Amino acid sequence: MSEPATRRTARRSAAAILACFGLLPGAAAADAIVDNVNGMALDAQQHVVRFRAIIVDAKGRVVRLVPLGEKTPEPTKKNPGPRYAWRADMKGRVVVPGMFDAHGHVMEQGFRTLELDLSGARSLAEAQARIGAYVQGNPDRRWILGGGWNQESWGLGRFPTAAELDQVTGDHPVWLERADGHAAWANSAAMKAAGITAQTVSPAGGRIEKAGGRPTGVFVDAAMELVRKVVPAPLAKDRNAAFLRAQDLLLGYGVTAVADMGSSLDDWMTYRRMGDKGSLRVRIVSYGMGVDTTLMIGGTGPTPWLYDGRLKLAGVKLYADGALGSRGAWLKQPYADAPGQSGAGFMSDTLIRNLMSRAAMDNYQVAVHAIGDAANAQVLGAIEELSDTYKGDRRWRIEHTQIVAPADLPRFGRNGIVASMQPVHETSDRLMAEARLGPQRLAGAYAWASMLKNGAHLAFGSDFPVEKPDPWAGWAAAFTRQGPDGEPADGWQPQERITREQAWWAYTGGAAYAAFAEKDFGSLQPGQLADFIVLDRDPLAASPADLRATKVLETWIGAQKVWERK
């Protein structure tokens, strides 16, 4: 009796999925095996594939995933192969692909752990107490540096002032960046050291907050450079220490690769020093800060992978506007809570096209920060014009894409655009976004589902240290539109929820695709590097609250264990 057609179709479909992941018997013998796992990954169609072992070769790449139910081949006298060079027994624990943070700032994260961190302060008084204690505990430091403050969480309804810093710092210069990195708070001693007076003019693309004609102590976007230029530069040993702190934090969250957005020359040299010493474990895809820095590092094109696939210069990072929290995001209409302000674009249409073109000439990938709807429209227009000249697979990246006019959403599906977004920004910013925009302008805010529906490629990250480099919180936020408190009950703008699998892909295969790295990692497909993490729970079965509580037990990169929870 012939096999029924439905059964033949099902068998062929299953075989196609297994073949895609190298699960069919008959794969070539490999050098090692990661055995006894409760493994799960996504294939290119975002179907869940489960496996019980990973066979890897001597170069740390996946040969095949052993499917559930298949006995692991063992050497016998009659059949001596495969002979595994080593075997790692995971004892039935959950194993998934390593997470790829599509947008972070590695060195800034490291320095945040070494400097004054105000990210947990919930009031101005609490911040002042922390600052005062830190100054007293570090009397020998020339400047007190740090960041993480957010006046929105303090309920101030305004920016803090230099006078409020002076109360707890005296004449010790203090410079503290806002959580989003687009504003900074200085005391009077810092402003004096920088020569800031009532006559100091706000530069293009920046704003000095003033009251009664005098600077209040907060500097937004390009105005930050007026003070930053006199802040002592960190020493090489400080940079090394900051990097190692950041790397350990990332690996502890299960982040095996990161797109470093806006690497300076000093950042790049720090990564090179770490690579030369054999201390570079996490994979870094670097996007240089501006065209000049990128060309200085890479010359006439992106670098190859260095240090056994640990470091690569892939592209250039540009800024079209500032951030929503500091009202630097460039909006088409004035802010609802500040009718006299609309933010500002950092570049003219001509300049942004010239810079993007200069980068594209040498095949650098272009990533542009755009938060406001006017900034996003400007970048979309530039991409549309340049795509007529620069053909092929360019994967133009727009970073954040937080506020988009609904009429502009379909434009993200053209020209191979990658929408590089951060789910935790929505849960952190939703009340502020409502205040900044008003209820009538939220339809295109943090619009993940609309991006996918319109054909954009979606990549997720955290924007650390603006937020913690925690992919589990971001994953939960993406398919619930809820914060850690479970609010709002139905999710904020719930029409923009995506599925659990779509969110997972954006943190793995989607993020790798966004960096031209999908052949090397993201989903543990055969041929990819064996970057995986061992978890304390099944992320596909966990409730949103339990998913947020996920603990990484071990982190493996290239089939080598590089981090273990103590």
Residue pLDDT, tens place only, 423-444: 999 999 999 999 999 999 999 9
User: Does residue 116 sit in the same domain as residue 220?
Assistant: yes
Place 226 in a pLDDT band, splitting at 50, 70 and 90: very high
Residue pLDDT, tens place only, 319-348: 999 999 889 999 999 999 999 999 999 999
User: Does residue 160 sit in the same domain as residue 119?
Assistant: yes
Residue 183: which CATH number? 3.10.310.70
User: Does residue 112 sit in the same domain as residue 223?
Assistant: yes
Which residues, 6+ apart, have CB-to-CB distance to 482 below 8 Å?
Answer: 427, 476, 488, 489, 491, 492, 544
Place 563 in a pLDDT band, splitting at 50, 70 and 90: very high
Question: Does 427 map to a domain?
Answer: no
Given 166, 194, 228, the domain boundary residue is 228
Mean pLDDT on 496-506: 98
Cα end-to-end span (Å), the chain: 59
* pLDDT score of 80: 62
Question: Does 43 map to a domain?
Answer: yes
- Which of 82-96, 176-190, 370-384 is most confident? 370-384
Residue pLDDT, tens place only, 436-472: 999 999 999 999 999 999 999 999 999 999 999 999 9
Dihedral sign of CA atoms 160, 162, 167, 170 in order = positive
Question: Does 498 map to a domain?
Answer: no
Place 199 in a pLDDT band, splitting at 50, 70 and 90: very high
Task: Please say if the pLDDT value at position 19 is more than 50.
Answer: no
User: Does residue 30 sit in the same domain as residue 127?
Assistant: no
Total domains in the chain come to 2
User: Does residue 74 sit in the same domain as residue 10?
Assistant: yes
Of the listed ranges 79-93, 170-184, 525-539, the one predicted with least confidence: 79-93
Of the listed ranges 1-10, 28-37, 219-228, 457-466, the one predicted with least confidence: 1-10
Of the listed ranges 94-98, 169-173, 250-254, the one predicted with least confidence: 169-173
Tokens of 566: 């103590």
Mean pLDDT on 468-479: 98
Angle between helices 471-480 and 423-437 (to 10 degrees): 60
Place 308 in a pLDDT band, splitting at 50, 70 and 90: very high
Total Cβ atoms within 10 A of residue 311: 22
Question: Does 263 map to a domain?
Answer: no
Tokens of 148: 């993480």
* Exposure on the CB side of residue 422, measured as CA atoms within 13 A: 28
Question: Does 222 map to a domain?
Answer: yes
Average pLDDT over the chain reads 92
Question: Does 326 map to a domain?
Answer: no
Place 28 in a pLDDT band, splitting at 50, 70 and 90: very low
Amino acid at residue number 505: W
User: Does residue 222 sit in the same domain as residue 188?
Assistant: yes
Residue pLDDT, tens place only, 48-88: 999 999 999 999 999 999 999 998 767 666 666 667 889 99
Question: Does 18 map to a domain?
Answer: yes
* pLDDT score of 27: 39
Task: Please say if the pLDDT value at position 153 is more than 70.
Answer: yes
Alpha-carbon distance 258 to 254, whole Å? 11
Cα 129 from chain centroid?
31
Decide if 460 contacts 474 (C-beta within 8 A). yes
Of the listed ranges 40-49, 64-73, 303-312, the one predicted with least confidence: 64-73
* pLDDT score of 134: 92
User: Could you give the strand order of the β-sheet that contains 283-289, starting from the edge strand earlier in sequence?
Assistant: 99-104, 255-263, 283-289, 311-319, 365-370, 397-400, 418-421, 457-460
Residue pLDDT, tens place only, 111-124: 999 999 998 899 99
User: Does residue 127 sit in the same domain as residue 162?
Assistant: yes
Question: Does 560 map to a domain?
Answer: no
Place 1 in a pLDDT band, splitting at 50, 70 and 90: very low
* pLDDT score of 5: 46
User: Does residue 51 sit in the same domain as residue 119?
Assistant: no
Q: What's the whole-model pTM score?
A: 0.89
User: Does residue 73 sit in the same domain as residue 122?
Assistant: no
User: Does residue 39 sit in the same domain as residue 67?
Assistant: yes
Given 170, 203, 228, the domain boundary residue is 228
User: Does residue 59 sit in the same domain as residue 135?
Assistant: no
Given 178, 197, 228, the domain boundary residue is 228
* pLDDT score of 152: 86
The residue segments making up the domain with residue 36 are 5-92
Alpha-carbon distance 307 to 413, whole Å? 35
Of the listed ranges 137-141, 273-277, 378-382, 422-426, the one predicted with least confidence: 137-141
Tokens of 34: 């990661």
User: Does residue 70 sit in the same domain as residue 132?
Assistant: no
Listed residue (411, 414, 401) closest to 461, CA to CA = 401
Listed residue (180, 106, 194, 126) closest to 150, CA to CA = 180
Give, as one character, the DSSP assignment of residue 495.
Answer: G
Decide if 185 contacts 165 (C-beta within 8 A). yes
